[in-house]
Amino acid sequence: AGSCIVRVTSVNNPAVFAEVKVSVVDPNKTVTAKTKTADGTTTASQTGGNTETTTAANTAAENTRADMQVIDGITYFDGVMIVNKTYTLPQSYNPGGMTADTRAAFAELQEAAKADGLTITSVSDFRSYETQDTLYHNYVARDGQAAADTFSARAGHSEHQTGMAIDCNWAGDAFNTTPEAKWLAENAWKYGFIVRYPQDKEAITGFKYESWHIRYLGKEWAKKIYDSGLCLEEYFHIDSKYAE
């Protein structure tokens, strides 16, 4: 006797899947097989066979959206890579550092800030899956998981793994009131960046306000997001919640 879970995915849309739980039982024992269909209907039947199967389809609305694409386990909405508490990166995803486009755009941003008498530097940008895992668990050990989840992403859920996220100057609440933070909020979009976790959006992004954390989207998308006054989750109508 024992059990296992078999996942069946669609070749055309890997985001759509069904998980089948198979349990081996006494062949003379009557079991109930429950199947949950895509519309949420659950059916049950009695059988004297040797398996019990439960199917749970991933029926999240986003999975059938025309603007959503999953490539190699990475989720995009309208071509924008999304990484948050809902959408993950594979452990193997590693661009090797800040992406070339991000680096070039950040250099342009730094020059513009310098012209305005300000200095903006990167204190943390690319982090591998393994580095993020260590960092997150250090915070959990120090502050507890509930607190850590408000300001540190679990491994695979961190934008820093994309190579397109930068923590500027210093990562701390004291940065929020600096001229540099104000400048980033007003000007980062001009160079292809957004302040990823805006003030008063904690319940939507899943993370506390981080004036220092900017995400590269490219100038066209950054302007759209900035002009909308929305965070990425609001703009694309998506969630940021861990599965548990």
Which of 62, 180, 210, 233 is catalytic? The answer is 210
- Reference 158, options 210, 221, 220, 106; nearest CA is 210
233 is catalytic: no
| Count of alpha carbons within 13 angstroms of residue 241, beta-carbon side | 7
7-to-14, 43, 86, 145 alpha-carbon distances in Å: 11, 20, 19, 29
| Count of alpha carbons within 13 angstroms of residue 49, beta-carbon side | 10
Contact at 8 Å (CB) between 157 and 112?
no
Query: How is 99-149 classified by DSSP, letter by letter?
Result: -HHHHHHHHHHHHHHHHTT----EEE----HHHHHHHHHHHHHHH-HHHHT
* Partners of 167 in beta bridges: 124, 213
List, by residue number, the catalytic residues: 210
